Every structure is written in structure tokens, then in C-alpha cells.
Amino acid sequence: MAGPALRVLPLGGLGEIGKNMTVLEIEDRLLIIDCGLRFPTAEMVGIDLVLPDFSYLRGRVDDIEGIVITHGHEDHLGALPWILRDLCSDGSEPPPVFGRPLTTAMARSKLDEHRLRDVDVEDLKPTERTELGPFELELVHMTHSIPDASAVAVTTELGTILVTGDYKFDQTPVDGPPADVNRLAQLGSEGLLLLCGDSTNADRPGFSPSEAVVGPHLEQTFLRCDGRIVVTCFASNIHRVQQVVDAAAALGRKVALLGRSMRKNVNIGRSLGHIDVPQGMLVGPREIDDFPDEKLVIVSTGSQGEPLSALRRMAFSDHPQVELRGGDTVVFAATPVPGNERAVNETIDRLYHIGCDVVTAADAPIHASGHGYAEELKLMLNLTRPRYVMPFHGDFKRLELHGRLAEAVGIEPARIFKGDNGLPLEITARGARFAAAERSGMIFVDGVEIGDVADVALRDRRMLSADGIFIVVVTISEQDGSSVADPEIILRGVPFPDEAHELQGELREAVEASLSRAASENVHETDVIQGMLHDDLAEFVYSRLRRRPLVLPVVVEV
């Protein structure tokens, strides 16, 4: 008789940077590790957030033993309220959420924003063991660019799986002890079944620099600035905010926080003792103009060029409190996440146009990655000595390179599984193999609603942004389908509007010709007539303007 099977199903985070989410399943019971999101790319017009496709979980909320969050970054936590709201929309009781104190405080804040106040959110201590059905859960302390980061060790009757989360082996962390290498080595000695490891910096040789080197270099950078200083970093990078505060305090500058998420996370960090701000040092956004330029540091969101972030709005002169000007220095204390380079470069270019000085990590060591380099990935592999390896958290290039690092430390290629979102790894007492793929992909947040925005909707949005829209209103006779009034033609966002307006007479002729064709073919159904009008007018407009605006015919019968 075959024994139980353990399924490891990544729904996000493989073949991409972001929206990390993994489902562990044994005997029809589920444990979810991380619920992350990512931000939309430029071609996702009008989309606000991108979530992992969690269709696999719909209708199975009662099977979920719990949700474990490794740390408080958006790509691991941000989708939590959206997913719980959807899964529990039928009144089902939400599963409990687990994490370390800073992580759970951020989770509670997000759930509260979505009015999901009946979710049980529990703090766990590292090495504390929690029974969740067929799973035994344990968090292992790791170092990252946010406090309270953890790896997740899950023990089942088949063995123990370790999901590293984001980590680096920082020997001089700015907050708390180094990673718990002793416990990692113990897991290896006990026999680790599977390692699911962070691959973000698998392409960078050596060891990552310590976060401790950043603070002194920030202070040196500030010393060279005569005017206002604007520092942008991730709102959740509590360590970096503390270093900015320390550098500002050393130089007698006040600090202002811009961006709702920045203020919220700093308040959470202060309440938990992760940030120490001297009394009277913080000033409100409306007080910024009350202080001399040389006495102020502004800490802002927007290091990734996000469209609605504080820095992006400042760069485009659209911020209600801060107007940037020549003499200001903008310090990027973060590097672009792969895929965000274009938006970041656009923001930097606008800052130069205003007359600001810009300092990035290419100019000074003012950023240290929170993800370990290749030698640290090897160290994790050697400490834990897993039977199987499944690279996580990276595009396909980085997953491949992580697999090669595993081979380099002696793991057989047949035991290394370079997967994809939706491709479950199935482990039994006999071995491991990939099983049939499950549905995966993206779910879009458009406004306050989530849903699979169809490709046609995104295509129409791209057409609108590029070539505009022609709206043609036609009034026809209900009896014979003939036109009973001149067509009304409305143009919006159409390139070369003067040329387009000159075509209006010809457009009306094209409308009449299309209606005559419909009548000659004895077509009377309104939707069919609209379809014929669309095709005829789209062809006509393209032949004259060499553009493909969205053509929207409206047929009214009288």
C-alpha cells in the first residue's frame, strides 16, 4: 500500500520576482506559506496590484490549517487581505495567520484596513513548535532587510521541509542576532527532506555586504549635501529608516516621513521597539516648509518608481506638500527590483530635469541587499544538507543558477527540482517527482475589486492609451434599418485630431455605406449591425490614419 504523498505547490514566486505563495498539502490538509503580491508592469494599464492565482484554494478554506508569513515585505504579505476576503466571502471562518511580532503587526494592520477583524493572527517565537493538523510548524530566525524575518520548517510524517523565505547570512546585523545557523545545522543533522531556497542573488558571486556598512556611508553622503535631502527606500525596510534617522540626528537635521505606508510601518516599528527616534525629531508633512533646507531629511516611498508613490508624485510636481527644486538631493537607498528598472530610470530622469542631485547605490554604498549571494546559498545548502532541493523566489535564470550551486556542493541533479508556478512537487516514501500542473498565473486588483481582468480588457486599455477612441452613434429605423439621422462622431485621445476631424465627412459616408450593406444583406439585428460597423470603420480609419483607435459603434433603433 502506497503511503501518504506530500505536495509542494508554488502558486507564485517561481519564474518571477514577487507574489510569493506556496501551498503544502498532505492528506487533503493544507498549509500556506506567504501570501505576496507584485506591482504591475507598464503594459498592465490601469491595474493596481498583481496577486497569485489562488483558484486552487477556492472552496477549500475549511481544509486550510493556517497561513504562515515569513516576513513583512509586500511580496510575501501584501496579498493576505485580498485572498482572505475572497476565500471567506461565503461566510466561512478564516484560517489562522502565524508569524513573528513585526510580521503579524503588519498583517493585522492590513487586515484592519480591509475590515477583516475576525482573523486570528498569532505571534510565534523562533524554535517554538506548533501543531497544525498533520503539520508541525517551527520558525527559524534569519537576517534580512526587515526585522523578524524567519525561515519556516514544517515537519510531516514524510520528513521536514524548510522554506527559507528571504535571507542573508549577515554577521553584523543592525537589529538582533545573526541567523540561527545552529538550528539550521541541527535540521541538516536530523535529516532535511526538502529545501525551498531564496534564489534572488544566485547570480552574484561571493557574500553580500552587511547592513551595518550602510549607516556610515549614509552619514558621509548627507555631509556633502547643503540643501534638503530626500531618501527613498522600501516602506518596510525598518533598518534603513533607522539608519537615516541616526544619520540625520548626527547632523542636526529633522526627519519628515512621506507616504502612508512609510508612516504606518514606522509607527509599528516604534511600537515594537525596532525604531528609536529621538523626541521631537519627527516633523509632519505640512511642517516641511517651516524648516531651513539644510536642517531637513525627508524619508519617502517610491524607490521602485511606483506610479502613486510620494517620490514619483514629487518628481512630476504632483505632491501636495513637497515641491522639489534645484539644490535638493535625492538618495535612492534601494536598488530596483528586476522589472522595475524602467520606472526607476524615468523617475531619476525627472529629478535631474528639476535640478536635483541624485545619489544611487551605483554612486555610493548606501544600500545592502537583503538577499544572500552565491556563497551564502551554498552555505545554506551545506548547513541543511537536504535530500531534495527546489529553488524558490527568482526568475528562471536565477532558479537555474541556484540549481547549479546545489550541484556544486554535491547534490545529485536528479534531486534538484527547478519548477514553475502551478507545478506541484509530489514527495512519497519512494521518491519525488513533478505531478500534473494546477492552475496558476495572475489575478489583478483593479481599484478595490479583484478578478481576472481578461486579456481583451488590457488590450483595449493599451489601444486607448496609444490611439484613442472613436465613438459613432447611429440612429436607424426599426422597420427597414435605414439611417434616420446624421451619425454622431465623437473623438477622444485620437492622435492628429485635426486630420481626424477632417475625415468626419468621409466617416459619415463610410457609416452610410456600412448601413446600406447591412440592409442589402437583410441584417436587422442590432448587435450584428454594430459588428459590421466596427469592422468597416476600423478598416477605414486605419487606411487613412495608419492608427488603430478603439472603434465603439452605438446603434439606436427608433
Closest CA to 303 of 260, 330, 334, 264: 334
Check if the beta carbon of residue 145 is closer than 8 Å to that of residue 234.
yes
Give CA–CA dist 337/13, Å, rounded. Answer: 13
Give CA–CA dist 29/229, Å, rounded. Answer: 52
**CA quadruple 186, 188, 191, 195: dihedral positive or negative?**
positive
Per-residue cell: 72: 513583512
343 — phi, psi (to 5°)? -65, -40
68 — phi, psi (to 5°)? -110, 130
Closest CA to 132 of 107, 159, 103, 98: 98
Give CA–CA dist 132/123, Å, rounded. Answer: 15
Q: In b/e form, how buried is each residue of 85-101, taking b as 16+ CB within 10 angstroms? A: ebbbeeeeebbbbbbbb
For residue 51, the cross-strand partners are 443
| Number of C-beta neighbours around residue 108 at 10 A | 16
DSSP-assigned letters across all residues of 497-535: HHHHHHTHHHHHHHHHHHHHHHHHTT---HHHHHHHHHH
Check if the beta carbon of residue 53 is closer than 8 Å to that of residue 83.
no
Crossing angle, helix 181-190 and helix 374-384, to 10 degrees? 50
**CA quadruple 307, 312, 313, 315: dihedral positive or negative?**
negative
**CA quadruple 346, 347, 352, 354: dihedral positive or negative?**
positive
Q: Is 535 a catalytic residue?
A: no
Which residue in the list 198, 328, 357, 536 is annotated as catalytic? Answer: 198
Q: Is 198 a catalytic residue?
A: yes
Give CA–CA dist 221/217, Å, rounded. Answer: 6
Which residue in the list 239, 371, 393, 402 is annotated as catalytic? Answer: 371
Q: In b/e form, how buried is each residue of 138-173, taking b as 16+ CB within 10 angstroms? A: bbbbbbbbbbbbbbbbbbbebbbbbbbbbbbbbeeb
Question: Active-site residues: which are they?
Answer: 198, 371
